[in-house]
Structure 1
Amino acid sequence: MVKSFLLPGWGEYTLEKPNRGRIFILSETALWTSFAGALIVSNNYTDLFQAYAADYAGVETSGKDRQFWVDVGNYESLNGHNEEHLRFRDYDAIYPMNSKWHWEWTSEEKRLQYRDYRVASDTWALGAKFIAGSIVMNHIVSAIDALYLQRISQIEAVSMQPLINMENGYSGLTLAIQF
């Protein structure tokens, strides 16, 4: 069971069930490949949207958090962003008025294209999180499968006997499993 928890399929191979083990190993390989691919695509989109914002909105890309990048896609300029947050009295969301935080889109189309790139990056990153959860589930299911295979291999005998009680008018079966 521990072997399959560490590397899905290993316990199944140890218990001489290579077909079952192969399924878990192939699943693990596919999941890790998908996870790496999703992270790579997400990072590529991140690089793309940051470069796009630098080119078409004049954004300085270093030292910015996720919320800044979301705001860049939601507002035409730093001034527009700050004015709206002043109206809402959301003073914590206001960026300093300097070149480090400044942006102004050259067109609405460029801003919307940027936002599509940023959302794609977030979507791929979220997909990677779900794939990571699937990797964990694959480990758990493989460990449970190995435990199941181990337990059924320890069964020595299974017997069923009918029960008939003529006095009370009931009948049934008894199942006996010997380990």
Structure 2
Amino acid sequence: MIRLGLSALLLTTAISTAPVAAEGGAGRFWRSLLIPGWGQHAGGRDSAASRFVILEGALWAGYAGLSGISGIRRTTYRTYAATHAGAQTSGKTGEYFDDLGFYATHHQHNQFARVDGPDALLYANTPDFSWEWDADGSRERYRDLRNSAETMERNALFVTGLVAVNHLVSAIHAGRMDREAGLAESGLSAIVIDWQWRPERLDLVLRRSF
């Protein structure tokens, strides 16, 4: 969270201190590719700059929140496995945690795994790798908890993709500002690229006035 706050502060400072000057579209493109909204601010389009900056901050805040929830749920399903299956979760791989959700005991896992022949992954009959669920319901509950944690992790990764898209959209928008101004002076309409908030989702909008 401290890193997120510092990043937001640097982003805001960079934009607020950038000189508002008439520069080429290429310069504004690279500015906004680095920091969304910077190129718009340099071109005197502060309203557009604010939208990209606010969205960037909201996306990183969303990423931090989803990552935090994922971490909490990860701890929850590991603690649950230790309590209800006697599993030693420290230092284990994702494959181990997957197997925990599909087999009642490590013996059952090994029995089914042996069909793979010499390359079969077998767990040693030691406290470090053994487990035995106290009930099938507990195992199913564990699997739900793990799936929930992985869903949050995937959502956080998806948000980082939206961050990249925001940088690219902001850069393209900033680079096209001269062209849009020229079209407006000639009486033609330009295609406007922008984000639009909706109650249930965030849309990338291409808009052209007639």
Distance 1:16 1:75, change over 3 A: same
Superposition TM-score, scaled by structure 1 size? 0.83
Q: Matched residues in 2 for 1:156 and 1:19: separation? A: 18
Look up the SS of the partner of 2:117 in the other structure: coil
The partner residue of 1:118 within 115, 124, 146 is 146
Residues 114 and 120 in structure 2, CA contact (< 8 A), matched pair in contact too: no
Name the aligned partner's letter for residue 25 of structure 1.
V
TM-superposed deviation, 1:98: 1.0
Paired residues in the alignment total: 160
Distance 1:101 1:151, change over 3 A: same
The partner residue of 2:135 within 92, 97, 107 is 107
Corresponding residue for residue 174 of structure 1: none
Corresponding residue for residue 58 of structure 1: 86
Corresponding residue for residue 131 of structure 1: 159
Whether 1:42 and 2:70 are equivalent positions in the alignment is yes
TM-superposed deviation, 1:100: 0.7
Q: Matched residues in 1 for 2:44 and 2:132: separation? A: 65
Sequence identity (%): 31
Distance 1:19 1:90, change over 3 A: farther
Residues 77 and 102 in structure 1, CA contact (< 8 A), matched pair in contact too: yes
Name the aligned partner's letter for residue 107 of structure 1.
A
Structure 2 gaps of 5+ residues are 1-28, 189-210
Corresponding residue for residue 141 of structure 1: 169
The equivalences for 1:1-179 within 5 A come to: 1-89=29-117, 91-153=119-181, 158=186
Residues 15 and 150 in structure 1, CA contact (< 8 A), matched pair in contact too: no
Residues 33 and 171 in structure 2, CA contact (< 8 A), matched pair in contact too: yes
Name the aligned partner's letter for residue 32 of structure 1.
W
Residues 8 and 24 in structure 1, CA contact (< 8 A), matched pair in contact too: yes
Deviations along 1:72-126, whole A, 9 cap, x unmatched?
0111010010001113437432111111101100111111111001001111111
Residues 31 and 134 in structure 1, CA contact (< 8 A), matched pair in contact too: yes
Superposition TM-score, scaled by structure 2 size? 0.71
Look up the SS of the partner of 1:63 in the other structure: coil
Q: Matched residues in 2 for 1:16 and 1:70: separation? A: 53
TM-superposed deviation, 1:156: 10
Structure 1 gaps of 5+ residues are 161-179
Q: Matched residues in 2 for 1:118 and 1:25: separation? A: 34
Residues 85 and 91 in structure 1, CA contact (< 8 A), matched pair in contact too: no
Deviates further, 88-97 or 43-52? 88-97
Query: Alpha carbon RMSD of aligned pairs, Å?
Result: 2.0
Higher relative contact order (CA 8 A, sep 6+): 1
